[in-house]
Structure formats: structure tokens, C-alpha cells
Amino acid sequence: MKSSIGIAVFIALAASGWILSGQFGDDANNNAGAATAAQTNAQSEADVAPKPATLMQVRVRHSIAETMVNEIVVRGRTEASRQTTMSAETSGPIATVDATEGAALKRGQVIGRISIDDRTAIRQEATAHVALRELEFEAASKLQQKGYQSRTRLAEALARLSASKAYLAKIDVDIRRTTIKAPFDGILQHRAVELGDYVAAGDPIATVMDLDPILFIGFLSERDVGKIEVGRPGYARLATGQEVAGTVRYISSASGDETRTFAVELEVANPDNRILQGLTAALRLPLTKLDAHLLSPAVLTLADDGTIGVKIVDEQERVAFVPVTILGDTPNGMWIGGLPPEVTLITVGHEFVHTGVKVKPITESAAEG
């Protein structure tokens, strides 16, 4: 009996141990599996998480607006401010030639003389007639005062005296006309006579032109003529590169029949006569002063709708498109309006970045270094 009870107890203990051992094994296996799964999930999440993107590099330059003078530029030429062709006012052979072509003349300087011929003798005769008529008038005047002569006789004597004086004055004028003088300070551009040539009244003698001041003449379109005013400053650049300053002195009130343009004259001081007539030049006529950026045309770009602009980097280092206006063109670049006074301009790489994209700006000086 006791042995049966012992066997039963032994079997019960063995069964309990076997059950307990299985339970503990499952918990261990479950714990190990959970740890492995957690590690696998963590690795998967690490693989799925996005890695930091590499920013696009662009080259930039800090641009500051400058004062730009908005102006009209037209082609033109130089021309003397005054030019005249002198003609003979009396007839006779050329007695002397006193100035050569190209010579600088002062007003009243003698260019040449026409022979006096018999003009001196004619003047002496006219002078004698005046003296005779004066005596006749004095005698007639005394007789009229005494009542021995009528007022009609006195008037006739006065008329003869006046006629003789007029003839003498005419002779004096004719004698003065034999001396050919410069009408103003200038250059003897051309002399049409030589010593011994015979000239009649009206024949050309010489051409004199005044190069101080010199005129720069250009032609304005209908659109621009109303923007220029007489008295405003202007500038002219010659083909040699010389640049001079002057003042607008004349604007035509009527356009050319064929060109429909209006002549404008820029007056420039030329005291040494170094600027000659007939030179080509570019006239720059200032209008207004504007704040603008002087940029290379290479920085310009087009928006999707065709708007001209530039790309800049804002304070958050993001790309922004700014529409601009082209105000002028120079050998050093283009004047651009529409930008802030100071701007960080993308000079290289603007073709590859879009508006709103964050970039890594590199200044031109750093890039060159």
C-alpha cells in the first residue's frame, strides 16, 4: 500500500517538473524571439528613414545699385557754328592776297585787296564837287535871308549839295569794299582767287568758318524729341575716343520730309580749333538719373511666361526670381532696373536651380580662391 502511494507521488512530482520545465522554456524562447524582432524592426526603420539631401552649390555676387544717367544716344557729325562765303562787292583785279587757306583769322583781318584803280581820282573829283555845292548853298541862303532869292532857289541849292555828298559817300564805300576782311574770328577754309584775278561784284572770294564753338548735330526720332530741352547738358564721343561736354542750343521745330527726324545741335567749346568740321560722333543726351545695377547679360534668364529677370538668393538661402527692366547697354555691361538696392545675385548655376529651392551660395571671391 505504502509502495503504491510512493509510486503515485513520484509520478505526480515527475509530471509537475516536466510541465514546469516546458513553461519556462517557452518564456525564454518567446523573450529571445521578441528581442530579435525588435532589433529587426529598428534596422528596417533605419533603412527607411530619409538621409539629409546635398544642397546645390551656386556662385553668387553681392550687387549694390549705382546711379545711372538715363540718356538718349544718337549718331551725328561736327559742323562749324558759323560759315560764310564772302563775295566781291565791287569789281577789279586782285591786287594783294594777305591770307592763306587754313589760316586762323581775327575779325577785321585783311584777306585780300582789289585794285583801287581810278577810285582815288574819282573821289577827289567828288570832294571838289561837294565843296562847290557848299559855296552855292551858302550864297543862296544869304540871298534868301535878304529877300533877294526865293525859297525855291535855296531848296535847289540844298538838293545839289546833298547829291554831291551822297556821291562822295558812295565813292568812299566802293573804296572800302576793295579791302576784303574777315567778318568774324574763324578759319580761312577756302580762297577762290589768286593775285591778278579779275572779279566782278558777286563773284566768290573766300569761305570763312567759325569752329569755336563747334556744333555736334544729331537727329532725334518722333518718340524722343519731346524728351530733350534747349539749355540742357549733353556729351559727344568722337571716333578717336575723345569725349567732350556741351549744351543743347537748338532743336528743330519741323522734321525732315523723308527721315521724319528732328535736328538737335550740341554746342561745345573748341578754343584751339582741334575739333574739325565733318567728324562723326555719338551724342549722349541725358534725361534722368536712376538707381540701377550694372550687370553682365549672362546673368539674365527667362521665366516660363517669357519674362526677363534674374535669380537671386534670399535671406533663407532660397532661390527667388525677380523680373527686371533693361535700361541701357554699355561696353562694361547692361544697366538693369527693378532690383532692390542690394541683392545677392546668382551669377553661375542659375540655369539649374528653380524658384524656392534651398541652395548653398558660394561668393565669387571664395570660388576664385
| CA separation for the pair 275, 46 (Å, rounded) | 82
**205-234: average pLDDT:** 93
pLDDT for the residue numbered 53: 64
What residues does 80 pair with on adjacent strands?
A: 214
pLDDT for the residue numbered 24: 41
What order of strands is seen across the sheet that includes strand 92-97? 179-181, 110-114, 92-97, 198-199
Residue 142: pLDDT band (50, 70, 90) is confident
Give which of 181, 179, 178 is closest to 108, Cα–Cα: 181
Higher pLDDT, 51 or 226: 226
Contact 313, 58 (CB under 8 A): yes
**145-161: average pLDDT:** 82
Contact 72, 221 (CB under 8 A): no
Q: Which helix (H) or strand (E) holds 45?
A: helix 2-48
Higher pLDDT, 248 or 45: 248
Q: 89-114: per-residue pLDDT in tens?
A: 999 999 999 999 999 999 999 999 99
Percentage above 90 pLDDT, the chain: 64
pLDDT higher than threshold 90 for residue 131 = yes
**335-341: average pLDDT:** 92
CA 54 vs. chain centroid, Å, equals: 48
Residue that is written with C-alpha cell 535847289 in the block: 156
- The CATH code that applies to domain 72-78+208-288 is 2.40.30.170
Phi and psi at residue 242, to the nearest 5°: -65, 135
Report the residue count for the chain.
Answer: 369
pLDDT higher than threshold 50 for residue 132 = yes
Higher pLDDT, 12 or 173: 173
| CA separation for the pair 348, 369 (Å, rounded) | 16
Q: 274-311: per-residue pLDDT in tens?
A: 999 999 999 999 888 889 999 999 999 999 898 999 99
| CA separation for the pair 217, 77 (Å, rounded) | 5
pLDDT for the residue numbered 368: 62
| CA separation for the pair 263, 106 (Å, rounded) | 30
Q: 3-40: per-residue pLDDT in tens?
A: 444 445 445 444 454 444 444 444 444 444 444 544 55
Domain range list for the chain: 1-48, 58-65+296-368, 72-78+208-288, 116-177
pLDDT for the residue numbered 366: 63
Contact 96, 114 (CB under 8 A): no
Higher pLDDT, 8 or 133: 133
Classify domain 58-65+296-368 at the CATH topology level: 2.40.420
Query: 43: exposed, middle or buried (C-beta count within 10 Å: 0-12, 13-18, 19+)?
Result: exposed
pLDDT higher than threshold 80 for residue 211 = yes
pLDDT for the residue numbered 157: 87
Query: Helix (H, G, I), strand (E, B), or coil: what is residue 325?
Result: strand
**175-184: average pLDDT:** 96
User: Cβ contacts of residue 294 below 8 Å, gap of 6+?
Assistant: 66, 68, 330, 332, 333, 334, 335, 336
Q: 66-77: per-residue pLDDT in tens?
A: 988 888 999 999
| CA separation for the pair 308, 159 (Å, rounded) | 88
What's this model's pTM, rounded to 2 decimal places?
0.60
pLDDT for the residue numbered 147: 73
pLDDT higher than threshold 80 for residue 201 = yes
C-alpha cell at 321: 526670381
Contact 112, 190 (CB under 8 A): no
Residue 247: how many other CB atoms lie within 10 Å: 15
